[in-house]
Amino acid sequence: MERIGERWELALSDGQAYGGPTLVVAGRQDSTVGYAAAVDLFEHCPRATLAVLDGAGHALPHEQPHLLAALLQEWLTRTDSAV
C-alpha cells in the first residue's frame, strides 16, 4: 500500500492499451471525480478488474483501508496465479 501511495498519478500513455492485469478501485460516494468514469479505463486496460466500493469517497485508502487491502490481496493472488 505504501509503494502504491507514493506514486498515484493516473496518466494514460499515447493511446496504446496496457495489456497487463489492472485493478481499478473507485469509491461510490466520490464527489471529486466520481466513480462512473472508471469504466472508461477499460478501453486502455483490456484486462482490468473494476471494484466500486460503497461507503467510500475519493479518499478510499483512508476511508476503507481494510476493505481496500483485502481487495488488493485477493487481486494480487488471483493475477499472480494466472501469470
Domain range list for the chain: 18-82
Contact (CB, 8 A) for 62 and 30: no
Cell numbers found for residue 52: 466500486
- Determine the average pLDDT of the residues in 65-76: 94
How far is it, in rounded angstroms, from Cα 54 to Cα 21? 23
**pLDDT band of 1, cuts 50, 70, 90:** low
Architecture of domain 18-82: 3-Layer(aba) Sandwich (3.40)
State the chain's mean pLDDT as an integer.
Answer: 85
> What region, left, alpha or beta, does residue 15 occupy, with left being phi > 0 and alpha being psi -120 to 50 degrees?
left
- So what's the pLDDT on residue 41? 83
pLDDT for 57: 92
The DSSP letter of residue 52 is E
For the chain, how long is the longest CA-to-CA vector?
36
